[in-house]
Amino acid sequence: MLVTVSVAVVMTLLAACQLDSADSQGRDGPRKRDNPTKAQPSKTPRAGGSLTDLAKGPLDEGWRVIRVVDGDTVEVTRQGRSLTLRLIGIDTPETVHPTEPVQCFGPQASQFATRHLLGEPVTLEYDQSQGRLDYYGRTLAYVWTTAGRPSLFNGQVVKRGFGYEYTYDDPYAWQAAFRRAETRAQQGNRGLWSECN
């Protein structure tokens, strides 16, 4: 009986230690490379840690943002090659659409992107579920800022209320995390949620 109680106490202590370890490394414990074709709802786009551990899909390093078109479209360059990116999973109010007026909070979303991205080194993350190009020939990607601790810019746009979670057709790898971020931004009246109807 005493042995059984001792074993139970040891098992309880080990479980508590594992939970503390997971909490200290993020809600879900150590990050592992996931299959980029499946949405993984347990991960959240938080700063810190190794980018290869945080990302869900293939990474493409060494880019620098040279132009912000608007809050969800930027241009990057590397070794003389340029790409126009459409950021996956977000939609910001329009500022440069040829047939639509400037929308509420559009200028603020563009300013947010400019402040955080223009001239900065970034790493692109691709998502096989979304393909590589959109209808307009723009490269579809998530953008990680890499000056300091890695941070997923697409998620920051939604989290801070500068844009909406946006699912084009198929679910994408960061969809669940972006939807949670949007709910929190809306509940907290952040950004466009307090300024726009």
Q: Rounded mean pLDDT of 2-11? A: 39
Considering the candidates 33, 61, 75, 86, report the single residue annotated as catalytic.
86
| Known catalytic membership, residue 184 | no
Burial class (CB in 10 A: 0-12, 13-18, 19+), 128: middle
Boundaries of every domain in the chain: 52-195
**DSSP conformation class of 138:** P
| Known catalytic membership, residue 94 | yes
Look at residue 122 and tell me whether its pLDDT is greater than 70: yes
Q: Which residues of 57-85 are buried (b: 16+ CB within 10 A; e: fewer)?
A: bebbeebebeebbbbbbbbbeeeeeeeeb
Look at residue 36 and tell me whether its pLDDT is greater than 80: no
**Which pLDDT score is estimated for 197?**
75
- In tens, the pLDDT along 141-159 reads 999 999 989 999 999 999 9
**Which pLDDT score is estimated for 8?**
39
Considering the candidates 94, 125, 165, 182, report the single residue annotated as catalytic.
94
**CATH assignment, 52-195:** 2.40.50.90
pTM of the predicted structure, to 2 decimals: 0.76
Considering the candidates 61, 67, 125, 138, report the single residue annotated as catalytic.
138
| Known catalytic membership, residue 86 | yes
